Amino acid sequence: MPTVQDYNRFGEELEKLLLLRTAPIALKMLKEESDVPEKALRPKRDLGEHLTLCQAFSLVRRQGKTVAMLKEDHWCVWPVIALGLGECNEQCVEEVHDKLFIKDPDVGREVFLKLFPRLEYGKYAGLLLSPLKTADFIPDVVLVYANPFQIRSLLWVPRYHTGTIDDCTFEVEFSCVFATVPVLQTGKFRATFPDPGEYERAFSDEEEMILSFPGNKTEELVSGLKYFEEIKFGYRNLAKVMKYDFPRPQFYDDLFKMWGLDQGEIWKR
């Protein structure tokens, strides 16, 4: 079983192999408040303010901070519901079912009750986040913010091992929820679009996606990325092939002939 130091190395290797702009995030669910390490940033305690979960992700991957998010640290309702930190009773359902950007509120209610992922209420006290390369814990989930081509390279690995890629259901809202809770529940890979709130308040870039996966699959991913690099199909190996003497319109050849220059294949379109 990989050690904490192994996971730190995996974090460094992921950044190197994929030329990532920001650090992969290690996430660990916490059973008790006493599980929070003293060095971790506690937003309410240490800043006198609160964070959304996506803002915590941003601090971790961009600034290298270790952040603990307990119930009192949150400033967004959705992860409080999804992580089981706040009880989602009938009053909660009434408040949120028509806030899902779904035209028919009855459909919104059904979607929320059946499809919005939630952990058991009260099971966890919160979660701990750190850059994978410096985390001092074994992650339950790893999140990688990357461009679509880097995501493709990552997803090649499970396809190489099994012949298939885990089914990914895309969402355009609640990115902090869908990038974490379904992975905890199913143990499968998850590709997620950053939602509007994450774009506006946590500075996700327009070309970014999130690939999240169980922490225990990190070693396999890194090993697979190394294999593809060895056979020259890694992210750093792939390059567009430039054809030099490409086909051109007839008048190009006519002018080149007049100037005493070489002619070539005529562009037929």
258/149 same-domain check: no
Residue 236 counted as domain residue: no
217/266 same-domain check: no
Does residue 268 have a pLDDT over 90?
A: no
Spell out the residues 6+ positions from residue 143 whose beta carbon is closer than 8 angstroms to its own.
Answer: 24, 25, 27, 57, 179, 180, 210, 211, 212
| Confidence band, pLDDT 50/70/90 cuts, at residue 96 | very high
Task: Output the pLDDT for position 169.
Answer: 66
Amino acid code (one letter) for 176: C
259/127 same-domain check: no
| Confidence band, pLDDT 50/70/90 cuts, at residue 167 | low
98/158 same-domain check: yes
* Percent of the chain whose pLDDT exceeds 70: 99
Residue 152: burial class (beta carbons within 10 Å; 0-12, 13-18, 19+) = middle
Residue 183 counted as domain residue: yes
Does residue 172 have a pLDDT over 90?
A: no
Residue 27 counted as domain residue: yes
Task: Output the pLDDT for position 165.
Answer: 86
Contact indicator for 157, 224 with CB cutoff of 8 Å: yes
| pLDDT digits 0-9 by tens, 105-153 | 999 999 999 999 999 999 999 999 999 999 999 999 999 999 999 999 9
Q: Which residue has the tokens 């967004």?
A: 76
11/105 same-domain check: yes
258/224 same-domain check: no
209/256 same-domain check: no
Task: Output the pLDDT for position 168.
Answer: 66
Q: What's the domain range around 116?
A: 4-230
118/172 same-domain check: yes
Does residue 254 have a pLDDT over 80?
A: yes
**Mean pLDDT throughout 10-32?**
99
Amino acid code (one letter) for 19: L
Q: How far is CA 266 from CA 151, 161, 196, 253, in A?
A: 38, 45, 48, 8
10/138 same-domain check: yes
Residue 235 counted as domain residue: no
**DSSP per position, the chain:** ---HHHHHHHHHHHHHHHT-SS--EEEEEESSGGGS-TTSB-IIIIISS-B-HHHHHHHHHHH---EEEEGGGB--HHHHHHTTSS---HHHHHHHTT-SS-SSHHHHHHHHHHHS--PPTTS-SEEEEEETTT-SS--SEEEEEE-HHHHHHHHHHHHHHHSS-------SS-HHHHTTHHHHHH---EEEPPPHHHHHHS---TT-EEEEEEGGGHHHHHHHHHHHHHTT-STTT--PPPPSS--B-HHHHHHHHHTT-----B---
Amino acid code (one letter) for 214: P
Residue 239 counted as domain residue: no
248/184 same-domain check: no
Contact indicator for 143, 25 with CB cutoff of 8 Å: yes
Nearest to 178 by CA among 197, 194, 155: 194
Domain count within the chain: 2
| pLDDT digits 0-9 by tens, 174-201 | 999 999 999 999 999 999 999 999 999 9
Q: How far is CA 1 from CA 4, 214, 227, in A?
A: 10, 14, 21
| Confidence band, pLDDT 50/70/90 cuts, at residue 269 | confident
Residue 238 counted as domain residue: no
225/266 same-domain check: no
Residue 160 counted as domain residue: yes
Cα–chain center distance at 10: 16
| pLDDT digits 0-9 by tens, 65-78 | 999 999 999 999 99
Q: Please give the mean pLDDT across all residues of the chain.
A: 96
Contact indicator for 26, 215 with CB cutoff of 8 Å: yes
What's the CA gap between 267 and 40, in Å, rounded?
Answer: 62
Does residue 205 have a pLDDT over 80?
A: yes
122/201 same-domain check: yes
Is the pTM value of this prediction over 0.85? yes
Within 10 Å of residue 120's Cβ, how many Cβ atoms? 8
| Confidence band, pLDDT 50/70/90 cuts, at residue 155 | very high
